[in-house]
Each structure stands twice: as structure tokens, then as C-alpha cells.
A and B are shown apart, each in its own frame.
Chain A
Amino acid sequence: MSRVLVGVKRVIDYAVKIRVKPDNSGVVTDGVKHSMNPFCEIAVEEAVKLKEKKLIKEVVAVSCGPTQATETIRTALAMGCDRGIHVEVTGKDYESMGPLQVSKILAALAKREEASLVIVGKQAIDDDCNQTGQMTAALLDWPQGTFASEVTLEGDKVKVVREIDGGLETIKINMPAVLTADLRLNTPRYATLPNIMKAKKKKIANMKPAELGVDMVSRGPGGGSEGDILRGLLAVEQSSRQHGGLISSSRTHLHPAIVATDFHDSSSLKGYSETLSFTELIQPTGG
């Protein structure tokens, strides 16, 4: 019986239309609805399911960020996690926090909590990095089961069915291990109002990265002098789809062979059918 650590991230809600700040320094987050990253929900659900099957003893939800991150931890607790850990990262540190810093924190916590599994979402829908799970595994020197679409515990091993290009791959890895959840792993439950109320009784520990011995500075390749800090340079609005226009006649877009043909007289097309396939006839062959 063991413990599972689940990483959850607070992101702008998936249904919100993203706006870019006028100075192109990032996206507008003030007064915008936030919620738990959908892939993190899947990770939480998987951990809670393992607990319900009595395969593990405890599920701990971790989130790094400002005070509001506790809301996301609450949601995880309402979904069935036992307790939470809020690693408080604010201001400049939060702005420059990337997957590396988060994985350092997760790795330190996994050791401290003696976790036998770390489950995170495969990626967050805000930065789309898809790095945290992999780097956590590397820092811990644990095996990793990424893009999991099925997870089965088998004694001290875990069987993971992975979503890879063009199919599925099944691997068996030793525990402790790091897993990242893909979309089809499970169907996350809804955090209902009664469960949110009950979750208020659960404990959320608060700590700072320094307590875990984690350095939050985000360094570029030069090693960390002031001008060398990894940072976003430019955020721009996605170009919107061009408006469609009306065309005067569909005939001008057809293959000359058809244009030259009287549509009412199908017999006149016959001469072309031997040299042109149907698709060639309906698509202009350009040139």
C-alpha cells in the first residue's frame, strides 16, 4: 500500500476566449475564469480510482502557484484526493516558472512523501509544454509511463498502455514511477457541490520552494546572469480565419473539360471519361 502524488495546474478555463495583453507581453489573466487543467483532472481521476480499488493508501494533490492555486487543490480534494500541498510561488518567480521548476518541486515532494507513483497530466492547455512528467522522472531517476491511456498495477510493477503515433504501446515499468495522463485514460468525475463542501475539511499544507531546497531561477543556456533568464518574448493574437467571399460562378473553378461541356447532355462527357478520373474532373488541376 502506497502513496500517489498528483500534480494539478490552475489554468485559464478551456472555454474562455484568450485575449492577448495590448503590450504583447502575455495573455490577460485578471478577472478571467480559471479552472483545473483538463489533463490534470484525468490524472486526479486515475489516482482516485486506484484508491477506490484499494490498490493505494493515499492520494496527495500538489499545485505550485499563487494563493489561487489552493482553489484548484480544493477541486482535486472534492474529486477524492485525501490532502493537498500548496507550494507557494508568487510574483516574478511565478511569471518565470516553467516545467523545470515544477518538476524540481514535484521530485522533491515525491521523495519527501515517499510516493510510489507520481501522476500528472501529459500537458497543460495554457503553455502546452508536455515536459513536466518527463523531467520529474529524469530528476528522480524513475521510470516513466507517458501518454497513458490505460494503467494497471501489478505488484511492484505498473503496466501502462501508451498512446503513440499510429497506435498503442504497452510497457511494464518498475515502481516507483512517473505517469502522465492522456485524454482517453478515463472520464473524470465532476466536483459536485456536496463534495466541495466535504473537501473543505481536508487539509492543505502550505510550503515554499526554498523549504524543499528548490531554486526557482529560470536560467538560459549561459548559466543565470541577470540578462540570461529564460522568459517569454512576444505573445500575439492568433490570426483569425479570413472571411469567405462570394464567387460569381462555380464554372470558373471547374476543370476546363467540364466547363466546355453541356451539363444537360451527359453523352458529351463520355469522351473525357477515358482520360480523366472523376476527381480530376471536379478539382481544378491547377496550371
Chain B
Amino acid sequence: MANPLRNEVLQLYRNLLYLGREYPKGADYFRERLKSAFMKNKDVTDPSQIKKLVDRGEFVIKELEALYFLRKYRAMKKRYYEYEQ
């Protein structure tokens, strides 16, 4: 029985997995946690519930992107602009 949201969930997983490659604590650390987070909700069937979980995943993506940007920005600032402090 194929859930219509199946593709959406898989795509979310792929996107998160891709983002996790740059995770500060390592890709393996991130992948483990990502997998267990998805497996924890594997029995959820209610579409509105799944939608909610996918939205949460999208939120995590935004947070990760912000984290990576800030990390890079701070590194650049430290290397090239430190004398301003």
C-alpha cells in the first residue's frame, strides 16, 4: 500500500542526508541520528500527522543551513576582520 506522501518523506530524508555531510560532528553521527528519528515515526499513517512531521524536517533543514552559514561567516570574520574588535 503506497502512501501518497511516500515520495515527499523520501525526498526529505535525502535532502537531510545530503546536508548532514557537512555536519560539524561528522556525517556518521548525523546519519545515525537522522535514521533513528525517521524510524521512530515509521508507524505513523495519519496523513495530517505525516505532513506535520515533514514540516518539522523542513524546519530542521532551514536550521542546518543557517548553522552552516554562520559557521563559515564566523570563520571568515575571525580570519580577516579580527583586528576590528
* Partner-B contacts on A (CB < 8 A): 14-15, 38-39, 125, 183, 187-190, 192-194
Contacts and interface: CB of A to CB of B under 8 A. Distances in A.
Nearest to B69: A187
A101 B81 CA distance: 28
B76 A14 contact: yes
B69 A15 contact: no
Contacts of A189: 65
B15 A38 contact: no
B68 interface: yes
Contact of B72 (A14, A192, A193, A194): A14
A189 B68 CA distance: 10
Given A192-B18, A192-B19, A194-B15, 5 more contacts: A38-B76, A183-B76, A190-B68, A192-B65, A193-B18
A184 to B, nearest CB: 9
Interface string B33-76: 00000000000000000000000000001000100110111011
Given A192-B15, A193-B18, A183 B77 contact: yes
10 contacts: A14-B72, A15-B75, A125-B76, A183-B73, A183-B77, A183-B80, A183-B81, A190-B68, A192-B61, A194-B11
Query: Which applies to chain B's interface (DSSP): helix, strand, loop or mixed?
Result: helix
Contacts, number: 34
Contacts of A38: 72, 76
Nearest to A39: B76
B14 A193 contact: yes
Contacts of A125: 76, 79
Nearest to A163: B81
Most chain A beta carbons < 10 A, residue from B18, B75, B80? B80
Interface of B: 11, 14-15, 18-19, 61, 65, 68-69, 71-73, 75-77, 79-81
Contacts of B73: 183, 187
Contacts of A190: 19, 65, 68-69
A15 B19 CA distance: 16
Contacts of A194: 11, 15
Contacts of A187: 69, 73
A192 B19 CA distance: 8
Contacts of A14: 72, 75-76
A125 B72 CA distance: 12
Nearest to B64: A190
Contacts of B11: 194
A236 to B, nearest CB: 18
B69 A188 contact: yes
A125 B78 CA distance: 13
A168 B64 CA distance: 32
B16 to A, nearest CB: 9
Contacts of A192: 15, 18-19, 61, 65
Contacts of B76: 14, 38-39, 125, 183
A39 B61 CA distance: 23
Contacts of B61: 192
